[in-house]
């Protein structure tokens, strides 16, 4: 098979990219290792920035998001004493959209066939070849049969564990990483949220986040040591811990119920540079990971796709090779700002085992400053709603 762009991975980055390239008349094929149902079964992000909403609007795929999503004009930081509301709408004139990654991915998946976007699921043994040349190709197996896609450009949208990043020679790449000494235990339950806006809590027992998917479906998190196993956390134990960490006011509003999903995700800050090598571009988690505290992971994948489409349209339509060459620097400039915000909010809202009384005083002082300074709140608000692309 021959095409213009071979895309590896049918998560949000791969599907957004595929749809946008097709809409621009650029031929592409998406290769996905799993089944579509498996991709949808992974419970991940819940908060969309303007850039992500904007790409769905550009594709005309925003109808369900606008009907079922929840625009949020603010969120809260809880420090055990009070709720500090960050008035995102008042401070930035913008808002975020609470709409699960699963639903966004479903909207993109459902539109693939009607729009002629070819997605090959259950593609095994995907391997990249000749990415240093102008004629790279990808091999894979499907139903036990070996296959090959020749393309002009390959885009790795295959997440943190995919093959694309690893296809870039170690001598070229540089990794920047911080692994956090805790994970997030997440629970999804068909119960009404305890608050109409998100609450991020820094309690002496640890971090908690009260989020949601709809007025009848809640998503909560607590941080746990990396040694913890999800099977050791009964629903009741999680609800009890959430009630303590979120504080009495929120606790009084918590509706308990059986979990429909429960998992522990490790936290890391990770950036791989460059995000382009030869004819290979990287988008999303294949190039970077953020701790979910800032709700940036999915949204960074979207901004990478925005820059990749810009570069590939210039390349295929106008022969502008510099546009492709400039993709990495452009994408990384925004990636690093989101990495900083996610790291900073993680540091502020979590208790680190290695921290002592001084570090705790720094957290208290910073939360006090945020509570009393519109300027400090504006900094948080403009990062949370998403920096411009």
Footprint of ligand PHB (CB under 6 A)? 45-47, 198, 211, 219, 292-293, 295
Residue 103 C-beta: closest distance to ligand FAS, Å = 13
Whether the CB-CB separation of 303 and 54 falls below 8 Å is answered with no
Catalytic residue among 19, 72, 262, 277: 72
Query: Is 72 designated active site?
Result: yes
Considering CB distances under 5 to 8 angstroms, the limit depending on partner class, which of ligand PHB, ligand FAS, none binds residue 297? ligand FAS
Site of interaction with ligand FAS (CB under 6 A): 8-14, 31-34, 39, 44-46, 101, 123, 126, 157-159, 161-163, 265, 284-285, 292, 295-298, 301
Per the residue annotation, which of 262, 296, 330, 350 is the catalytic one? 296
Q: Is 274 a catalytic residue?
A: no
**Is 296 annotated in the active site?**
yes
Out of 292, 306, 327, 330, the active site residue is 292
Return the number of the residue (40 or 130) whose C-beta is nearest ligand PHB. 40
Q: Which is nearer to ligand FAS, 11 or 74 (CB)?
A: 11
Q: Return the number of the residue (240 or 261) whose C-beta is nearest ligand PHB.
A: 261
Residue 293 binding: pick among ligand FAS, ligand PHB, none (C-beta 5-8 Å cut-off by kind): ligand PHB
Which of 45/131 has CB closer to ligand PHB? Answer: 45
Nearer to ligand FAS by Cβ, of 91 and 154: the residue is 154
Residue 242, C-beta contacts closer than 8 angstroms, at least 6 positions apart:
208, 210, 220, 222, 251, 254
Out of 99, 140, 180, 200, pick the active-site residue: 200
> At closest approach, how far in Å is the CB of 319 from ligand FAS?
28
Smallest separation, CB 375 to ligand FAS (Å): 26
CB closer to ligand FAS out of 17 and 86: 17
Pick one of ligand PHB, ligand FAS, none as the site partner of residue 39 (Cβ within 5 to 8 A by kind).
ligand FAS
Q: Which of 221, 307, 327, 384 is catalytic?
A: 384
Q: Which does 223 bind (CB under 5 to 8 A by kind): ligand FAS, ligand PHB, none?
A: none
Torsion of CA 329, 54, 283, 223, to 10 degrees: 110
Which residue of this chain has its Cβ atom nearest to ligand PHB in the complex?
Answer: 46
Q: In whole angstroms, how close is the CB of 345 to ligand PHB at the nearest point?
A: 8
Q: How far is the CB of 76 from ligand FAS (least distance, A)?
A: 17
- The catalytic residue positions are 72, 200, 292, 296, 384
């Amino acid at each position: 098979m021959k095409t213009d762009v071979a895309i590896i991975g049918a998560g949000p980055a791969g599907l957004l990219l595929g749809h946008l390239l097709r809409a621009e008349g650029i031929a592409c094929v998406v290769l996905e290792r799993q089944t579509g149902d498996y991709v949808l079964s992974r419970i991940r992000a819940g908060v969309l920035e303007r850039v992500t909403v904007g790409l769905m609007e550009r594709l005309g795929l925003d109808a369900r998001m606008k009907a079922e999503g929840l625009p949020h004009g603010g969120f809260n930081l809880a420090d055990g004493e009070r709720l500090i509301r960050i008035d995102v709408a008042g401070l930035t004139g913008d808002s975020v959209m609470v709409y699960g990654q699963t639903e966004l991915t479903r909207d993109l998946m459902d539109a693939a066939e009607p729009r002629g976007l070819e997605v090959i699921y259950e593609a095994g043994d995907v391997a990249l070849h000749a990415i240093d040349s102008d004629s790279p190709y990808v091999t894979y197996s499907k139903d036990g049969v070996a296959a090959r896609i020749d393309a002009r450009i390959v885009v790795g949208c295959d997440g943190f564990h995919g093959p694309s990043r690893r296809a870039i020679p170690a001598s070229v790449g540089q990794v920047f990483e911080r692994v956090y000494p805790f994970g997030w235990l997440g629970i999804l339950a068909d119960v009404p949220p305890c608050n109409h806006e998100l609450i991020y809590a820094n309690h002496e027992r640890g971090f908690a986040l009260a989020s949601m998917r709809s007025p009848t479906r809640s998503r909560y998190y607590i941080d746990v040591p990396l040694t913890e196993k999800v099977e050791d956390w009964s629903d009741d134990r999680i609800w009890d811990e959430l009630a303590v960490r979120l504080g009495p006011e929120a606790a009084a509003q918590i509706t308990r119920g059986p979990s429909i999903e429960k998992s522990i995700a490790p936290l890391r800050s990770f950036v791989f540079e460059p995000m382009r090598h030869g004819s290979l571009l990287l988008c999303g988690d294949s190039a970077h990971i953020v701790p979910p505290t800032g709700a940036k992971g999915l949204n960074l994948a979207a901004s990478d796709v925005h820059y990749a489409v810009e570069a590939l349209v210039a390349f295929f339509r106008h022969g502008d090779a510099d546009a492709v060459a400039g993709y990495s620097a452009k994408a990384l400039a925004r990636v690093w700002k989101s990495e900083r915000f996610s790291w900073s909010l993680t540091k502020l809202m979590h208790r680190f085992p290695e921290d002592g009384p001084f570090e705790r005083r720094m957290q208290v002082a910073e939360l006090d400053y945020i509570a009393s300074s519109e300027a400090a709140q504006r900094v948080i608000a403009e990062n949370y709603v998403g920096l411009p692309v």
